[in-house]
């Protein structure tokens, strides 16, 4: 019993420690976002030649008035979006990084072989009451579904030889075992999904902030100059607003699409678990009177 408790505790720790740690990754991605903004998007090569910035590092461009910058590439245009842009870039990188992580985790959760074939094979073995062979299939499949099914089948064998409980108690114990195994596996599948969900909304709101700031600058330029609008400042303000809007909408759309995609994958795995769990319970009820 002590060995089983120890193994269970190790499994819980492994599941809790699996995946990326947002507390560590997010600050790193924020730094990367600002570095991309200043040294990649803000590179002098993305702007028309100007004697004041020729040969200088891109970070020195912070000392030059924005309206004196003349972007000649898409990256230069994005740079003109202002200080909100690196935050939106960080959001986009975050969506990409955690989406890749979720793909890897969900790929491992499916196990080694074809999941549909595994489900059919296990259900066929259960119909024939070949529990040991079903457990061997779980050992070969591994992954989330394989782990949960193996736990259920192991409990199945123990309860089948138990003489201290009646059938109803055994069925309740079997169902509880499967539910507990599923509960242990689900946090690993759903970890960091909240980040994608949050960015799907927050990216749009932050972009809206950048849009408002850009429009404020545009209207300020429109009303300054004693009746003669500053056309350079006006165009920069409008450009800043549109760049932020585009980045925010794009990031939000990608985050929502990927969140729904991963959610459907998790639901699919859950359905497979429920499908086999039902077969385990029906097999136990049939072969253990």
| pLDDT for residue 210 | 93
- As a whole number, mean pLDDT of residues 50-62 equals 51
Instruction: Please give the Cα distance from 48 to 10 (Å, whole number).
Output: 60
Q: Give the chain's domain count.
A: 1
Would you call 47 helix, strand, or coil by DSSP? strand
Q: How far apart are CA 279 and CA 273, in angstroms?
A: 10
Residue 18 lies in a domain: no
Query: What is the Cα–Cα distance from 136 to 133, expressed in whole angstroms?
Result: 5
Chain segment 87-105, per-residue pLDDT in tens: 999 999 999 999 999 999 9
Share of the chain above pLDDT 90, in %: 56
In a domain, 116, yes or no: yes
Identify the band that residue 9 occupies on the pLDDT scale cut at 50, 70 and 90.
Answer: very low
Indicate whether 179 belongs to any domain.
Answer: yes
Task: Check residue 61 and give its pLDDT.
Answer: 53
Residue 7 has pLDDT above 50, yes or no: no
Per-residue pLDDT tens over the stretch 142-152: 899 999 999 99
Task: Give a yes or no: residue 8 inside a domain.
Answer: no
pLDDT by residue (tens digit) across 204-255?
A: 999 999 999 999 888 887 776 556 666 777 888 888 899 999 999 999 999 9
What per-residue confidence (pLDDT) applies to 241? 92
Residue 278 lies in a domain: yes
Is 80 exceeded by the pLDDT of residue 58?
A: no
In a domain, 62, yes or no: no
Q: Which domain holds residue 198?
A: 83-287
So what's the pLDDT on residue 12? 43
Cβ neighbors of 266 (< 8 A, separation 6 or more) are 106, 189, 190, 193
Q: Comparing 46-50, 153-157, 200-204, which segment has the lowest mean pLDDT? A: 46-50
Percent of residues, the chain, with pLDDT higher than 70: 84
Over residues 252-265, mean pLDDT: 96
- Which of 166-180, 188-202, 209-223 has the lowest average pLDDT? 209-223
Distance, in Å, from the CA atom of 108 to the CA atom of 110, rounded to the nearest integer, reads 5
pLDDT reading at 199 higher than 90: yes
Tell me what the mean pLDDT of segment 24-35 comes to.
Answer: 96
Q: Do the domain assignments include residue 246?
A: yes
Let me know: does 66 contact 79? Beta carbons within 8 Å: no
What is the model's pLDDT at position 236? 80
Question: Is it the case that residue 137 has pLDDT exceeding 70?
Answer: yes
Give pLDDT, residue 11.
46
What pLDDT does 113 receive? 85
pLDDT of residue 51: 53
Answer whether residue 50 shows pLDDT above 60.
Answer: no
CA dihedral sign of residues 176, 181, 184, 185: negative
Helix pair angle (2-17, 167-190), 10° resolution:
30
**Is residue 269 pLDDT above 80, yes or no?**
yes
**Residue at 57 is within a domain:** no
The pTM of this model reads: 0.83
């Amino acid at each position: 019993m002590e060995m089983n408790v120890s193994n269970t505790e190790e499994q819980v720790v492994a599941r809790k420690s699996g995946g990326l740690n947002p507390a560590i990754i997010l600050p790193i991605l924020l730094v990367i976002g600002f570095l991309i903004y200043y040294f990649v998007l803000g590179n002098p090569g993305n702007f028309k030649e100007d004697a004041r910035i020729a040969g200088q590092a891109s970070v020195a461009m912070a000392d030059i008035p924005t309206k004196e910058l003349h972007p000649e590439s898409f990256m230069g245009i994005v740079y003109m979006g202002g200080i909100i842009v690196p935050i939106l870039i960080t959001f986009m990188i975050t969506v990409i990084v955690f989406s890749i992580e979720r793909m890897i985790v969900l790929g491992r959760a499916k196990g080694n072989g074809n999941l549909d074939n595994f489900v059919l094979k296990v259900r066929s073995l259960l119909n024939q009451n070949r529990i040991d062979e079903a457990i061997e299939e779980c050992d070969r499949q591994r992954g989330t579904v394989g782990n949960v099914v193996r736990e259920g089948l192991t409990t199945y064998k123990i309860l089948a030889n138990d003489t201290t409980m009646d059938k109803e108690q055994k069925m309740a114990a079997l169902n509880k075992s499967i539910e507990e195994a599923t509960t242990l596996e689900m946090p690993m599948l759903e970890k960091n999904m909240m980040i994608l969900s949050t960015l799907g909304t927050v990216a749009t709101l932050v972009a809206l902030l950048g849009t408002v700031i850009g429009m404020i600058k545009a209207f300020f330029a429109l009303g300054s100059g004693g009746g003669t609008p500053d056309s350079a400042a006006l165009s920069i303000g409008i450009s800043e607003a549109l760049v932020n809007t585009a980045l925010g909408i794009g990031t939000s759309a990608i985050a929502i699409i990927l969140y729904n995609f991963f959610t459907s994958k998790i639901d699919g795995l859950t359905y497979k678990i429920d499908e086999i769990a039902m077969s385990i319970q029906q097999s136990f009820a049939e072969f253990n009177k």
